[in-house]
A and B are shown apart, each in its own frame.
Chain A
Amino acid sequence: MQTPHEPEENAQGAPIEHELPVEHELPVETAEQSAAYDSLIRSAHQEWAALEKSGDPSVSVSSGALAALKRSVRAEVRRGAQISVPPTRRGPMSVSELTLHTVLRRAVDTVPDARSLRARVEYAEEGAASHGGWSGERGMPRAVTLRISVQLGSPGARDLVRLAEDVRGAAAAALHRDLGIDPDRIDVHIEDLHDQ
């Protein structure tokens, strides 16, 4: 039988890491030691934060690596499915989901005191075959839900009903103007209040 003092091994002969230290393994910590330890952690936090704030290169990924990463991120944007929109006079047209969401986000952001968070779009089941012969992967946008944040203490925050109407109007106008889309419904959900 194995005692807690003997090193245990697994089937491969490797030592097993005790999940929790056995009671006598670790010394009892004094209040003074605990305070010194806590102070050390606090100072580490403060110093790291100060270095980060000052842009010290020792606590940052190199600028070249960060630039390369950002290029990769932009190269890997998820454009999503192609969406059917009404044909133009000169032919059929489709846009990516990313384009649709960008139009919506920018429209919401133009409304004073409102900030776009995320949009959800529901599509008609049929593809664009019925819209000028273009076969998009998704049908026409049918309903839009806009999740937004409102600036705390702003005029918009004092009249949320009006603000929601302004947001709805801005989104509807942008969709009509930029993409020729007129969804049946645009819901606005005020989800957060932000400081500035």
Chain B
Amino acid sequence: MYSGIVAMALMAVFAVVFLYALHRLTAVAASPVEVLPAQSGWMPQEHALSRFHVRWYMASIVFLAFDVEMLFMYPWAVIVIERGLSAVVEMFLFLGALLVAVVWAWREGAFRWA
């Protein structure tokens, strides 16, 4: 069952390796040149790798809550037909509760930056 996926992965790796090998032959030089980061020609004052201020961290927490919910959603999708209305009611009550949380987060400004 998974042999197809493994084969595709191998194909992809082959494609990447082929391109890199081809590049070694066709490029004006095989080795990379080391350069300064693009800053309009100015010297960088520090390394860019740093603690980055993500201003959407509130949104990412709400996202996590919902993302975990997807764990239930996929198996649920398979049994809706089997279980009928009760499954629908249960799931959408749950989703409704989550959406209320989203509305609350929205009103708190979690999805607005700046």
A and B: real partners?
no
Interface residues of A (CB under 8 A from B): none
Residues of chain B having any CB pair with chain A under 8 Å: none
